[in-house]
Amino acid sequence: MTSPMDFDYEGALVSCASGNRRALVQLYEQESPRLLAVVMRILQNRSLAEDIVHDAFIKIWNNAASYSKELGSARGWIYTLARNLALNALKYSQRQVLAEPDFLLDLCDNNSLEAEHIDEFSELAADCRTQAALYTCIDHLAPEPKLCILHAYVDGYTQDEIATLLNKPLGTVKSWIKRSLNALKECLQ
Distance CA 91, CA 141 (A): 22
When mean pLDDT is compared across 123-132, 142-151, 175-184, the lowest value belongs to: 123-132
- Cβ atoms of residues 89 and 149 within 8 Å: no
Parse the chain into domains and list their residue ranges: 9-93, 101-188
Mean pLDDT, residues 15-19: 93
**Sign of the CA dihedral 44, 46, 47, 52?**
positive
* pLDDT at 73 > cutoff 60: yes
Distances in whole angstroms, Cα of residue 86 to Cα of each of 50, 109, 150: 10, 26, 16
Dihedral of the alpha carbons of 31, 117, 180, 106, in degrees to the nearest 10: 70
Q: Is the pTM of this model over 0.75?
A: no
Distance CA 37, CA 49 (A): 8
Distance CA 20, CA 26 (A): 10
Domain 101-188 in the same topology as domain 9-93: no
Mean pLDDT, residues 107-127: 44
Helices (H), the chain: 9-17, 21-43, 46-63, 74-93, 101-110, 120-125, 131-139, 143-153, 159-166, 170-188
Top-level CATH class of 9-93? mainly alpha
* pLDDT at 118 > cutoff 90: no
- Position 36, amino acid: L
- Which CATH number, 1.20.1260.60, 1.10.10.10, 3.40.50.670, 1.10.260.40, labels domain 101-188? 1.10.10.10
Q: How many CB atoms lie within 10 A of CB 88?
A: 12
